Structure formats: structure tokens, C-alpha cells
Amino acid sequence: MKNKLKIYSSIVLLFIAIGCSLLLSSCHKEISGSNQVGSSYARNYSQVFEDFWNDMNKSYVFWSVDPTNWDAIHDKYAPIFDSLNVNPGKTTDSVVAHNFKEIVDGLVDSHYNLSLITGYGISPSLDRKWKNPQFIGNLFKTNLNALYPDSINYYNIKVDSSYLSNKFVAYDTLSGFYCISGTVKGTNALYLGFSTFSLTSEYSNNSQVKKSLDNFLVHLSNPAITGVIIDVRGNGGGEVSDLNFLIGSFITSPLKIGFTRSKNGSGRLDYTPWADAIVTPDTWGIDFTKPIIVLTDGLSASMSELTAMALKLLPNTKVVGDTTWGANGPLTQNSDFNAGSFSFGNIGTSIGTGTTYYYGSVYTSSTMFKYINGNVYEGKGFPPDYVLKVGPNDINLPNKVMKDPQLEKAISLIPQ
């Protein structure tokens, strides 16, 4: 494994439970005894469960930190799935999905999503969020497509842009990506907020986004600048190349932020050695030593979390807001790392098309990330230095007055 950060993050938004509904293709053994029939596929629930359990045993990368007793799971649920074979015609899809939901409920991988061919999608991390009253009580329960006031777009654009001067807002109508940059009114502090980590590709392909990002990047070296605010609230992650693109703008030498490891065998604890996770400076990078404030919330996931962690290692950085989602594990194809996403439960191959169908698929991290301080924040989230939870009533005030308490706290931490 190369001694360079090899993180393939994915976007983990509010709708993670349905975001991976298509079955994943991967290198995978076929179950003996699966039937080849026209358009009707036999379901042997015992085989489906055993295939799932064995692939999780081999491909899940968090067993060293996950509290789930996987052997106990087998002892409990193997008989249950055996019983479903007694009269499979009367076994409802919801019963099968319920059992799978119970099985994966405690898994720490917060990228994890289990999709069944019956249409059920199961996300343990999302289920945990809904069970958390504090999470539900915040803006994080809002609908991305809603207008005013319940939307993440409202939170980032309509509120934050009112605090900025010399601002440039760019929006990609095709991808839904937006980017806001500018100077905080009455100060010399720079602000950058964006919806997903697709900065590298958008910068190359979208002239409006390039202008917005340049509006931020070209001012970093301005001696008059007193500090920087990076806003990744509501940002579910994205492209790994953005780590070098963004963090690389603040450094001139490689920055070691932690370690990654994957699996090197089929055993549950067969791990590769830890490899250094390193951010590489970009060509325009400078040694930025002025205050950096990172704004995070419960929907800041994956690359957003790694960005906060990386910036926290610079000499004058603070994190403001709420604990992040907790999905730090890098992602790539199972075949690349002997771990990660897989399909399970070969339920038949179509005679007409030759297509093999699987009962389900699992979307899961291929490597584990350990921060430079030795902590694994998977399933926990990265905590802010200043905890400041907000709800709609804190932002949408009477008489159509709007404010952003978290942004105001960030501004207060930058010398004027």
C-alpha cells in the first residue's frame, strides 16, 4: 500500500438509506445449489444468511473496534433464517428485512448500507440519528429539497450569504453543487462554504464555480486577511482529490493526518499494517498560520470530517458546531483491498439474459482510518472545540430576521 492517503470517500447525505439501492457488482463466490430459472428466482434464506454472514466476517474492516459479537449473531439468526425456509411462499419481505435490520443495528461503519432486492434499504447510522432526540431537534432532520425555512440550502445560502460581502455564489444546476465564497462583512476574514466535495472536478469544468473558488483561494496569501472560515455543515463528503486541493492550499509540505489499514486475509482480524495517511500540498499552497475556523454539524460526513481533522493539525485551527456524522472509513472496490462492498445471496441466473441476481448488497468501507492522535472516530464523529447546537428557531427569528449563531461564533474567534 502506498504511503499516501488513499481515501475514496462517498457522499453520505440525509438520504443515505436509499442512496445505495442498486446492487453492487463485485468479485464474489456463487452459492452452491442456487437455481437457474427463467424469471423466477428461488430464495433459500439459510443460504442467503450464511453468504451474508461469511462475507461480513471476511470483508468488514472494523471488527477490531466494532462491539458487535459476530459469532453470537450467527448463533441467534441462523435458526431464524432456517425457519423462513419452511414455507418461503408465506415469508414476507418485511420479516426478512426486519431481521437484517436487527443484525446490522450496532455496526460502527457509518457509511454502511444494506440493500435488498425486495427494495428495502437499511442504514444503521441513519437509524441511530433518528433515535437521537438532539439530532432530530436540530436542522439536520430537514428536507434538502424543501424551500424556506426547512432546508440545508436555506441554512447555507440564505443565512450565510447575508453575512458576506464581496461574495460569489456559484450553482451547478446539473449536479446540484453550490459554492459560496466571500469576506465576512466588517472584517478581513475569508469564508468558503460548499455543498459536496467535488471541488476539483467543478473547478476544472464549471467556470462559475472556478470564479467562486478563486475568489477564496487568491486571497489566502493577502497579508490583510485575518483568518479563514471553512463551512462543511450539511456536507456529506465526496472526492478524495479535494483533500489535496483544499487542505493543500494551506500547506507547503506533506501533512500526515493519520493512518489507514485494510484486510490481507479472510480472517476477521487479518489486517494489513497501518499505512501513513498524508495530504500533499497543492502548487499554490502557502504556509497559512492565521486562525482557521471549521464549521461542522451532524451531517458533516466522510470528506467533511477528514477535512476538519486535517485542518485541526494546523497551528491555529478551531472547530465550531456539532459532532460530525462519524463516517471516516475510506472506500474503494472490494477487489482493491480485500475488504469493502460486496453482493450476497446468489438467487439465480436468468436463462434468457445470463444475468446473475443477488438477494442483497452491502456498501461498506474498504479501509479503516485512525487519526494522528490514535483515535478511531468511526461511528462516533469528530467533536468540535466549541459545541453550539442550533435549531430552526435559533435561525429563523420573528419579523423575518435570520441569523446564524454558529457562524457568528466562528467570526468572534478571528481577531479583527
Question: Can you state the percent helix, strand and coil of the chain, rounding each to 5?
Answer: 30, 20, 50
What pLDDT does residue 131 have? 83
Contact between residue 261 and residue 376 where contact means Cβ atoms under 8 Å apart = no
Domain parsing of the chain, residue ranges: 16-131+331-363, 133-328+380-412
Pairing, β 255-261 against β 386-387: unpaired
Q: What predicted TM-score, i.e. pTM, was given to this entire model?
A: 0.85
Q: What is the pLDDT of residues 394-405, one digit of tens each?
A: 777 777 777 889
Confidence category of residue 79, pLDDT binned at 50, 70, 90: very high
- Count of CB atoms situated within 10 Å of the CB of 42: 13
Pairing, β 113-116 against β 356-363: antiparallel
Q: How far is CA 161 from CA 42, 108, 153, 164, 234, in A?
A: 56, 36, 11, 5, 15
Edge-first strand order for the sheet with 356-363 is: 121-122, 113-116, 356-363, 342-349
Q: What is the pLDDT of residues 33-74, one digit of tens each?
A: 344 434 445 678 999 999 999 999 999 999 999 999 999 999
Confidence category of residue 354, pLDDT binned at 50, 70, 90: confident
Q: How far is CA 294 from CA 246, 366, 368, in A?
A: 13, 27, 23
Q: What is the pLDDT of residues 171-185, one digit of tens each?
A: 887 888 889 999 999
Contact between residue 163 and residue 414 where contact means Cβ atoms under 8 Å apart = no
Q: What is the pLDDT of residues 276-315, one digit of tens each?
A: 999 999 888 999 999 999 999 988 999 999 999 999 999 9
Over 50: is that where the pLDDT of 380 sits?
yes
What is the C-alpha end-to-end distance of the chain, expressed in Å?
Answer: 45
Contacts (Cβ under 8 Å, ≥6 apart) of 186: 416
CATH for the stretch 133-328+380-412: 3.90.226.10
What pLDDT does residue 54 have? 96
